[in-house]
């Protein structure tokens, strides 16, 4: 192996990862796991490596690569061992993550996990990037184009210099053309989500035989490379992130934790037995640990922190 720990430590770390992710992980298991980490610096280095891989895959690849760590499968243990052994350069999925990582690093505008930042472009257009987002910018004589590599953006377009230069947001699934607009775009796994706050946008999926759709103020839709779902009303809750908050309105706990996980590094796990619990509230994103600490006040849950990058919400 090319890492600074032994094959034995790597195998044991993979075993512990599998145990840690099981629904019946006990307090005794936690004590033995901590003893294993403390018993040998090699063990601790192996565990730190696997945590780093998990965090990087979650941030770079989104759902597909990260799910190898979370699904229940007879092959999960081998997959984790393979992941630990290869680091971030071994499989096709991870190579895809590296490719996306390069796009993020070469982006003109980008934010780190948990960061929000606004840019004002040369024509006066304002672009607000949400957590873990990256945008490539291409302004020329024919167009004003933003390529959303990953994440989520809110745009307030300007008419300055707009003559003959349409304003377009390009995603993996197609194009969103502004029609004098305030709107937001989020890159999901295999789909793009669009909310319009003012005026309208024209959405054109990438497939040549798809039909464009005009989305107007107060509407939301999601589209793939081939089709666009019927528009639905867009809630102001969807833009709470622009004010640094998450609004939960009768929200499932697993959905809430998935959303909160976008704003913190590492693994945030929800016990499947708690997934359907629903609750409401407004949660500031400045301190995600504080948000987690508030959950037991209103839900029958406990927060188990294995490390700063590994937290589990479990049944109390």
Q: What CATH number is attached to the domain comprising 279?
A: 3.55.50.30
Residues 74, 12 share a domain: yes
Residues 138, 232 within the same domain:
yes
Q: How far is CA 112 from CA 81, 104, 294, in A?
A: 28, 10, 25
Is residue 1, in this structure, part of any structural domain at all? no
Contact of 158 with 189, CB cutoff 8 Å: no
**Percent of the chain surpassing pLDDT 90:** 54
What is the distance between the alpha carbons of residues 221 and 193, in angstroms, rounded to a whole number? 6
Residue 232: how many CB atoms within 10 A of its CB?
Answer: 11
Whether 113 shows a pLDDT value over 60: the answer reads yes
| Of 104, 101, 136, residue with least CA distance to 119 | 136
Task: Answer yes or no: is 14 within a domain.
Answer: yes
**51, 83, 104 — which closes off a domain?**
104
Residues 232 and 255 in one domain: no
Judge if 129 and 233 occupy the same domain.
yes
Structural domain includes residue 224: yes
Final residue in a domain of this structure, among 237, 267, 293: 237
**Cβ(92)–Cβ(65) below 8 Å:** no
Q: Residue 101 pLDDT > 70, yes or no?
A: no
> Structurally, how many domains does the chain consist of?
3
Burial code of 18-27, b = ≥16 C-beta within 10 A, e = fewer?
A: bbbbeeebee
Q: Average pLDDT, whole number, for the chain? A: 83
Query: CB of 261 within 8 A of CB of 236?
Result: no
Tell me whether residue 41 is in a domain. yes
Among candidate residues 182, 210, 237, the one where a domain is terminated: 237
Other beta carbons within 10 angstroms of residue 111's beta carbon come to 21
pTM over 0.85: no
pLDDT tens-place string over residues 194-233: 999 999 999 999 998 889 999 999 999 999 999 999 999 9
Q: Are 119 and 149 in contact (CB under 8 A)?
A: no
Phi-psi group of 205: left, alpha or beta (phi > 0 → left; psi -120 to 50 → alpha; rest → beta): beta
Residue 178 covered by a domain: yes
Spatial contact of 148 and 135, defined as CB atoms under 8 Å apart? yes
Backbone angles phi, psi at 202, to 5 degrees: -110, 125
Count other C-beta atoms under 10 Å from residue 263's C-beta.
22
Res. 84 pLDDT band, cuts 50 70 90: low
Structural tokens at position 228: 């666009």
Give me the CATH number covering residue 227: 2.60.120.1440
Query: Do 111 and 232 fall into the same domain?
Result: yes
Q: Are residues 119 and 55 both part of a single domain?
A: no
Kindly state whether residues 188 and 144 are assigned to the same domain: yes
> Are 92 and 124 within one domain?
no
pLDDT in tens, 171-188: 999 999 999 899 999 999
Spatial CA neighbour of 50 closest among 105, 101, 22, 9: 9
Q: Is residue 198 part of a domain?
A: yes
Contact 12, 75 (CB under 8 A): no
Residues 123 and 171 placed together within one structural domain of the fold = yes
Task: Label residues 131-169 b or e (16+ Cβ within 10 Å = b).
Answer: bbbbbbeebeeeebbbbbbbbbbbbbbbeeebeeeebbb
Residue 287 located in a structural domain: yes
pLDDT greater at residue 165 or residue 91: 165
Residues spanned by the domain of 152: 107-237
Q: Is residue 37 part of a domain?
A: yes
Q: Are 13 and 84 in contact (CB under 8 A)?
A: yes
Report, as an integer, the average pLDDT of 134-159: 92
Reduced to 3 states, what is the DSSP secondary structure of residue 175? strand
């Amino acid at each position: 192996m090319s890492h600074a720990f032994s094959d034995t430590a790597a195998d044991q770390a993979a075993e512990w990862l599998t145990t840690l992710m099981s629904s019946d992980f006990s307090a005794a298991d936690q004590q033995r796991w901590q003893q294993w980490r403390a018993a040998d610096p090699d063990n601790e280095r192996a565990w730190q490596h696997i945590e780093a891989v998990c965090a990087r895959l979650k941030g770079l690849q989104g759902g597909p690569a990260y799910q190898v760590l979370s699904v229940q499968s007879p092959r999960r243990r081998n997959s984790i061992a393979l992941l630990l052994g290869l680091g971030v350069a071994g499989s096709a999925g991870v190579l895809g993550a590296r490719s996306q990582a390069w796009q993020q690093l070469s982006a003109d505008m980008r934010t780190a996990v948990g960061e929000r930042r606004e840019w004002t472009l040369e024509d006066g257009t304002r672009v607000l990037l949400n957590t873990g987002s990256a945008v490539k910018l291409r302004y020329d004589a024919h167009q004003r184009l933003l390529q959303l590599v990953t994440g989520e953006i809110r745009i307030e377009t300007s008419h300055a210099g707009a003559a003959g230069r349409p304003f377009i947001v390009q995603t993996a699934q197609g194009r969103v053309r502004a029609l004098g607009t305030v709107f937001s775009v989020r890159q999901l796994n295999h789909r793009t989500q669009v909310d319009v706050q003012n005026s309208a946008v024209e959405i054109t999926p990438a497939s040549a035989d798809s039909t464009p759709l005009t989305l107007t103020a107060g509407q939301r839709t999601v589209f793939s490379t081939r089709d666009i779902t019927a528009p639905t009303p867009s809630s102001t809750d969807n833009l709470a992130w622009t004010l640094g908050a998450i609004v939960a309105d009768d929200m499932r706990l697993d959905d809430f934790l998935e959303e909160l996980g976008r704003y913190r590094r590492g693994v945030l796990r929800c016990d499947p037995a708690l997934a359907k619990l629903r609750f409401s509230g407004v949660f500031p994103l400045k301190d995600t640990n504080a948000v987690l600490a508030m959950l037991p006040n209103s839900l029958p849950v406990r927060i188990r922190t294995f490390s700063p990058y590994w937290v589990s919400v479990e049944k109390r």
